Amino acid sequence: MSILRQVPLFLLMGGVQLVLDSAVTIGLSRAGLALGLANVIGRVCGAMLGFWLNGRFTFGGPGSRLGRAALVRFLAAWLLLTAASTLGLAAIASNLSLQAAWIAKPVVEAALAVASFFISRHWVYRAA
């Protein structure tokens, strides 16, 4: 499948994930939950949707199936990217403010999306 087809689909699916992820993260942290935990919960919500959307539409082809191997690879990549996201947001909140971390959340996630695209394309969904 062409990278020229995959990039716009990945951006579209990522946008949907980012809205869900950010809304959950900001809502929970605004309600008093620790930012790190709120971020992980937000990313879990986005990840559940994103695994299926990207596996089915972005990187999948006719007749492709999302199997256990793709899920395990997805979870490994997700754990690393979530750690980077959470540590980055925690550093911003600690050095600036919680509100600054809320503003930075989409920027942090966009930067991680570049790595996520290539990890997904070449490793996570390689058999999909």
Given a cut of 70, whether residue 54 has pLDDT beyond it is yes
- Crossing angle of helices 35-53 and 3-30, in 10° steps, is 150
Bigger pLDDT: 62 vs 55: 55
> What is the per-residue pLDDT for 127?
66
Residue with tokens 């750690």: 83
Domain residue limits at 94: 3-124
pLDDT at residue 104 greater than cutoff 70: yes
Would you call 71 helix, strand, or coil by DSSP? helix
Residue 69 has pLDDT above 70, yes or no: yes
Q: Which long-range contacts (CB under 8 A, 24 or more apart) does 80-87 make?
A: 81/112, 81/115, 81/116, 82/39, 82/40, 82/43, 84/112, 85/39, 85/43, 85/109, 85/112, 86/36, 86/39, 86/40
Q: Which residues contact 28 (CB under 8 A, 6 or more apart)?
A: 37, 38, 41, 42
**What pTM did the predictor assign?**
0.84
Q: How many folded domains does the chain comprise?
A: 1
- pLDDT value at 115 more than 70: yes
pLDDT at 74: 96
Return d(Cα 48, Cα 5) in angstroms, integer. Answer: 22
Across the chain, mean pLDDT equals: 94
CB atoms within 10 A of CB 101: 24
Confidence check: pLDDT of 128 > 60: no
Residue-level pLDDT at 126: 84
pLDDT over threshold 90, residue 120:
yes
User: What are the structure tokens assigned to 115, written together?
Assistant: 């790595």
